[in-house]
Amino acid sequence: MAQLQDQVTMAPATAVAEREDAPQKSFIDAIHDTLADEMRADDRIVLLGEDVGRRGGVFRVTAGLLDEFGPERVIDTPLAESCIIGSAIGMALNGLRPIAEIQFLDFIHSAMDQIMSEAAKIRYRSNNDFACPLVIRVPFGGGVHGALYHSQSIEAMFVHTPGLRVLAPAFPADAAGLLRAAIRGDDPVLFLEHKKMYRAIKGPVPTGDFEAPIGKARVVQEGTDVTIIAYGMMVHEALKAVSVVAEETGVSVELIDLRSLKPLDEDCLVQSAKKTGKVLVVTEANEACSVASEVAATVGEEAFAYLDAPVMRLAAPDVPAMPFSPPLEHAFLVDAEKIGAALRRLISY
Amino acid sequence: MTTEVTNAPDKAVQGAFNPQSTAVSDQLPGHYPPPSATFEATTISAQVAPSSTGDAGLPPETLIDMYRHLALARALDERMWQLNRSGTAAFIVSGQGHEGAQVGAGFALERGIDFLLPYYRDLALSLVFGLSATDVMMAALARAPDPTSGGRQMPAHYGSARLNIITSSSPVATQIPHAVGIAYAARMRKTGAVAIACFGEGGSSKGDFHESCNFAAIHKLPVIFFCENNNYAISVPVEEQVSIEHVADRAAAYGFPGVVVDGTDVLAVYQVIKDAAERARKGEGPTLVEAKVYRFQPHTSDDDDRTYRDPDEVKAWRARDPLAQFEARLRDLGVLDDEQVARIRSDINREVDHATDAAEQAPYPDSSTFDRHVYADR
Amino acid sequence: MPTGTLTTIAMPQLGESVVEGMVGTWLKQVGDRIEKYDSLVELETDKASAELPAPVSGVLVEIMVEPGTTVAVGAGLCRIQEAGAVSDEPAMPEHAPVRPSNGNGAYADPVRAPSMARVHGEEIPDEATVLRARSSPVVRRIAEEHGIEIGSVEGTGTGGRVTKRDILAYVADHVEQSVNETLRREPAALPSIEPVPRTAVTVYPGDDVIPVSAMRRSIAEHMVRSERTAPHATVVMEVDMTGAVAWRTSRKEEFRRREGVDLTYLSLVMKSVTLALRDHPRLNAVWDEERIIHRKSINIGVAVALEDGLVVPVIRNADRFSVAGLAIALAEAAEKARSGGFAPDDLAGGTFTLNNPGTFGSLVSTPILVQPQVAILSTEAIIKRPVVVDDMIGIRSMMNLSLSIDHRALDGLAAARFLQQVRAWLEDVSDNLPLY
């Protein structure tokens, strides 16, 4: 299997304004530091996954943790995704708080049975006799020349599965806060880390013990004319698009970062749609049955009387995955340019 | 109390069964005759457990307790068939024929400490770990007091946090990696517990089985892989399921011991599991135990085994019924006499009747609760 | 378990998707004693064969199906009489099948096909046409709220559709026009407001159900709207009408003879009101959200009671009339009201309203404003009462004046000052007051 870390392109840093007093951290450091803090505070926490120990993770998210916590708590597993998740479930059932890593979301399919049939259903099927407090961390998303099998954005399948929580932070503060909430919660959580953001996105991260609320979106900027709803890297692409289009047209855009894909913050989305009347939902995943489709359907249903245009989705085309060669990847990928074009269409509707 | 399901022989099918000449006895024309006492000729690397003699060092009370569990499992199983055929129980899974191996294994483990990861045929094992006849009936009739799932799952999906029986699902072998994780946690927390993962020979084909063997072996985890090989995965015969003759031979590929044992010999299985549990607790790692058993009934109440097995084969294995064999052993040992047997049986009948009545009168789950417990907070 | 129950044992479903089964050999005969779980009969389906166990104990009293017969799942096979007296009453089989039906079974909801009726044979208009006429949900809602026809608004959106911005701009531009128009319309023609959710009213035998007339409805709508838009406050003052009474008494006969109409107290009050309004233009005004418009003309509306309703004819430029003139105008208005001879202009343009419930004996009332006016005055009954005058008890003719104001435009102080002036003039009425 290709080791991707050498091929990840370092995109230029994008600063995101937030709580100005908090120290700036990269997305990857926010995750790493939270893992370390939590493992220090709770010795039931165990990390397991391929290359998470010695190598510190192929993206180096778990660097140094083996040294600090030892091999019993940081396990380099064999190349067996189903067993990684299955044994993590067993650990969760017997008093530990496991955090399993699947090296790329593209490789999670082997573990689907364990995630869907087991983790998601354990509490429900046992009528609350058992719980499965498990965090599954997975790098996802494209734009790093990862091609078909290192770029996938297939989170929709998990959002479709009751019993799971699915999180996809876009800012370092949320990466830290949501990860902490996931670790401390008692439900199985799929924690998606956009691999392009690891080093490209920096932002303020509060110090100390803070959790971000699962199920609440983040209003990145307020506006009155159009609402853009996005998650992951698309939030940053949308920010770029909005600044260009706003300067040209004077449009006032409200940008919402879902950050929690399941559960969705329906109230926030619907309120915004009622305010602006025009909504664009952006995802880098394939369009059919995407999270964007779910958001669009919800907004259309709940905010119908207030809409001044049909709810629009912008997503990847119906092509199996992201191609490798740069022009092909560019054609596939949703980026600031495409978001800007969609935004312009929506403004003039 | 044995009810024989009348399987009218299907003439078209009979011709398909050509008895293999490897059969030990020519009088038994079945495809899979009961095992002969020893397997040495056919194992590759697996040990072969000796047949038991005597009382395996167990006191009479324990032996009688084992017998009771065997008889109760059989009686419950038969009662569930009756309920199914009368239209009361929608769907049941039978474990008749497996009880000897399961009771032997269960008694070799520490109830209250060790973990059971059952599959759907493990009725006897679940009873040994503490599930009651009433519990079983509640689940069979999908009533609210069902402790395994509150009526949410099909019957035979055993589970109880209180009894260390891990909640089970329908996909095959998914419980095996769970056993590995549980064993890992047990060792890390130093509880001394062992996890026993049970599955059929069909389950040993799944990736989860192999991944789990590998992982458990690498970390020398306190887990017992318990394969109840009954020669059929629904209708698929074992030589189309497993590339070798004995599942236990797979253990060597992962670097730990495999043991083949006659699953109809309660005390032989008892001894094997006892040894495996001791190994595990000492930190010596996993063991793969393969008990040769037979499934007297079809796979489930929805299966019709007349299409894939010879009734004479079933009959031949019934002659090796673990319940009858164990009763005979205990009589030989002077632990059981007619009067005791009769009393135990009538006690059990009463227990089963009581459990059935209780379940029939119990309420169904309140429909307004159907969407509870999806997450911790709802 | 009730004794003496006759239980019918039905053909069970011996497997998913099984719908029938064949009865084989009966293992028990009629008259046999049956224990619960005894095997009764051999059954065969294409999925499985089985012996049917008895669900109850008792005596087998009837075999309903011959061996070799195929029956549907649920059909009766035999009957067992449980211990006790023989009863003719058949009971439900003890074990009702619990297997959930799968696929096309009993739990399917009737599938509702989308109503395609209106699409058959009718042309579906193209999207641009629909958009121009109906635009979007939010635009339609705004249009409806303001009574705007979307087609009359200029659209800058796709295909010329009216956008939310377009219609909001239109509404802002036309606010002034719409306020002026409202004043000219008949009260009955004022647009109705959002109805309050109704609670169901039961009609009992003997009740008289009266349909609501158009006038009643328009009064109702106006009153609701007035109450709901303007916060009403009422100020009441007592007026010593003794002088006015004397003045009128001395002149009424002659007036009647000359003019043919009555010289009413209302005309005196009206005179006082018009004079006071000249000094207190705030009460001769209209509330318009961002501004209050003090009307130049003083047009007094007078509420005239009818058998089942009221009408408010307006006497324009009432301040130019003498008391006599007002009395004549009032009489004419009352006459027209009874004969129904009002022209639209007769009823429009009021800037202040007078009400006279005193005629019916009212002592204090809380009149409801006539929109969009900010004040309305009720004259109450004139009653002789003992009052303190110069520290002595005297008998005086007293009359209350009840003034309701729109508390958005006016406060108690302004209302009180106005009313004080009205009162002062009335209390000063003496023989010197000219009739004409």
Q: Which of C39, C73, C91 is the last residue of a domain?
A: C91
Cα angle, residue B224 at apex, residues B221 and B228 outer, rounded to 5°: 155
Question: Measured between CB atoms, which of A83, A130, A185 is closest to B161?
Answer: A130
* pLDDT score of A57 more than 70: yes
Q: How distant is the Cα of A225 from the closest Cα of chain C, in angstroms?
A: 9
Identify the top-confidence range among B1-10, B116-125, C184-193, C329-338.
B116-125
- The string of DSSP codes covering B50-110 is PPP-TTTT--HHHHHHHHHHHHHHHHHHHHHHHHHHTTSSS--B--TTTHHHHHHHHHTS-
Quote the CA–CA distance of A32 and A63 in Å, as a whole number: 8
Q: What backbone torsions phi and psi does residue B102 show, to the nearest 5 degrees?
A: -70, -40
Q: What is the pLDDT of residues C264-311, one digit of tens each?
A: 999 999 999 999 999 999 999 988 888 888 998 999 999 988 877 788
Q: How distant is the Cα of C54 from the closest Cα of chain B, in angstroms?
A: 8
Q: Which comes out higher in pLDDT, residue C176 or A303?
A: A303
Q: What backbone torsions phi and psi does residue C408 show, to the nearest 5 degrees?
A: -75, -40
**C267 and C155 belong to one structural domain:** no
Q: Which positions in chain B touch C20 (Cβ < 8 Å)?
A: none
Query: Which residues lie across from A67 on neighbouring strands?
Result: none
Under 8 Å between Cβ of C271 and C360: no
Question: Measured between CB atoms, which of C136, C157, C158 is closest to A307?
Answer: C136
Under 8 Å between Cβ of C285 and C292: yes
Q: Which two tokens stand for residue B371?
A: 């969407």
Q: Considering the domain boundaries, does residue C110 fall inside one?
A: no
Q: CB of C137 within 8 Å of any CB in chain A?
A: yes
Q: Which two tokens stand for residue C46?
A: 């294409």
- Note the maximum CA span of chain A: 59
> Which is nearest to B67 in space by CA: B351, B292, B291, B341?
B341
* pLDDT score of C436 more than 90: no
* pLDDT score of A44 more than 90: yes
Q: Considering the domain boundaries, does residue C379 fall inside one?
A: yes
Which pLDDT score is estimated for C190? 47
Q: How distant is the Cα of B352 from the closest Cα of chain C, in angstroms?
A: 12
Q: Which of C45, C76, C91 is the last residue of a domain?
A: C91
At B173, is the pLDDT very low, low, confident or very high (cuts 50, 70, 90)? very high
Under 8 Å between Cβ of A339 and A307: no
**C265 and C413 belong to one structural domain:** yes
Tell me the domains of chain B and their CATH numbers: 35-362 (3.40.50.970)
Quote the CA–CA distance of B43 and B47 in Å, as a whole number: 8
At C431, is the pLDDT very low, low, confident or very high (cuts 50, 70, 90)? confident
Which pLDDT score is estimated for B15? 28
H-type helices in A203-265, by residue range?
A: 233-249
Q: Considering the domain boundaries, does residue C146 fall inside one?
A: yes
> Which is nearest to C40 in space by CA: C93, C4, C86, C90?
C93
Q: Which two tokens stand for residue B157?
A: 């999906």
Q: Which positions in chain C touch A348 (Cβ < 8 Å)?
A: 157-158
Q: Is the CA virtual torsion C372, C377, C380, C386 positive or negative?
A: positive
The CATH number linked to C238 is 3.30.559.10
Closest A-chain CA to C135:
A308
Question: Measured between CB atoms, which of C137, C141, C158 is closest to A349?
Answer: C158
Which pLDDT score is estimated for A234? 98
Q: Do C49 and B85 touch (CB under 8 A)?
A: no
Instruction: Report helix, strand or coil for A201.
Output: strand
Tell me the Cα Rg of chain B.
20
Under 8 Å between Cβ of C49 and B8: yes
Quote the CA–CA distance of C205 and A162 in Å, as a whole number: 56
> Which is nearest to B103 in space by CA: B147, B73, B58, B135?
B73
* pLDDT score of A120 more than 50: yes
Under 8 Å between Cβ of B145 and B362: yes
Q: What backbone torsions phi and psi does residue C383 show, to the nearest 5 degrees?
A: -130, 140
* pLDDT score of C260 more than 80: yes
Q: Which positions in chain A touch B174 (Cβ < 8 Å)?
A: 86, 113-114, 117-118
* CATH 3.40.50.920 domain position(s) in chain A: 218-347
The one-character DSSP state at C435 is: -
Q: Considering the domain boundaries, does residue C246 fall inside one?
A: yes
Per-window interface: A 130-149 vs B, CB < 8 A? 130-131
**C300 and C384 belong to one structural domain:** yes
* pLDDT score of C425 more than 80: yes
Work out how many CB contacts closer than 8 A connect A with B: 139
Q: What is the pLDDT of residues A330-339, one digit of tens each?
A: 999 999 999 9
Quote the CA–CA distance of C186 and C370 in Å, as a whole number: 12
Q: What is the pLDDT of residues A231-265, one digit of tens each?
A: 999 999 999 999 999 999 999 999 999 999 999 99
Q: How many domains in chain C?
A: 3
**How are beta strands C375-389 and C392-406 bridged, if at all?**
antiparallel
Which pLDDT score is estimated for C178? 56
Under 8 Å between Cβ of B195 and B182: yes
Under 8 Å between Cβ of C14 and B90: no
**C361 and C418 belong to one structural domain:** yes
Quote the CA–CA distance of B225 and B238 in Å, as a whole number: 18
Quote the CA–CA distance of B183 and B179 in Å, as a whole number: 6
For domain A15-204, give the fold. Rossmann fold (3.40.50)
Domain A218-347 sits in CATH at 3.40.50.920
* pLDDT score of C17 more than 80: no
Q: Do C137 and A349 touch (CB under 8 A)?
A: no
Closest C-chain CA to A224:
C165
Q: Which positions in chain C touch B5 (Cβ < 8 Å)?
A: 49-51
The CATH number linked to C129 is 4.10.320.10
Q: Which of C166, C185, C204 is the last residue of a domain?
A: C185
Q: Which positions in chain B touch C53 (Cβ < 8 Å)?
A: 82, 85-86
Q: Is the CA virtual torsion B28, B29, B32, B38 positive or negative?
A: positive
At A19, is the pLDDT very low, low, confident or very high (cuts 50, 70, 90)? low
H-type helices in A113-260, by residue range?
A: 122-125, 156-159, 172-184, 197-200, 233-249
Which pLDDT score is estimated for A248? 94
Instruction: Report helix, strand or coil for C27.
Output: coil
Q: Which two tokens stand for residue C361?
A: 């004996």
**C19 and C72 belong to one structural domain:** yes
The one-character DSSP state at B300 is: B
**C361 and C252 belong to one structural domain:** yes
Which pLDDT score is estimated for C37? 85
Quote the CA–CA distance of B84 and C209 in Å, as a whole number: 64
* pLDDT score of C179 more than 50: yes
> Which is nearest to B230 in space by CA: B298, B319, B155, B169?
B298
Quote the CA–CA distance of C25 and C77 in Å, as a whole number: 12
Question: Measured between CB atoms, which of C137, C138, C157 is closest to A349?
Answer: C157
Closest C-chain CA to B140:
C98
> Does the interface ipTM go beyond 0.90?
no
The CATH number linked to C70 is 2.40.50.100
Quote the CA–CA distance of B138 and B129 in Å, as a whole number: 17
Q: Which comes out higher in pLDDT, residue B304 or B362?
A: B362
Under 8 Å between Cβ of A251 and A280: no
Q: What backbone torsions phi and psi does residue C236 show, to the nearest 5 degrees?
A: -120, 135
At B39, is the pLDDT very low, low, confident or very high (cuts 50, 70, 90)? low
Count Cβ atoms within 10 A of the Cβ of residue C134 and give its class: 0-12 exposed, 13-18 middle, 19 or more buried. Answer: middle
Q: Which positions in chain C touch B90 (Cβ < 8 Å)?
A: 97-100
Assign residue A95 a region (left: φ > 0; alpha: ψ between -120 and 50; beta: otherwise): left
CA B312 to each of CA B296, B316, C146: distance values in angstroms, whole numbers, following the listed order: 11, 6, 88
**C164 and C222 belong to one structural domain:** no
Domain that holds residue C22: 6-91
At B3, is the pLDDT very low, low, confident or very high (cuts 50, 70, 90)? very low
Per-window interface: C 14-53 vs B, CB < 8 A? 14-16, 37, 39, 42-44, 47-53
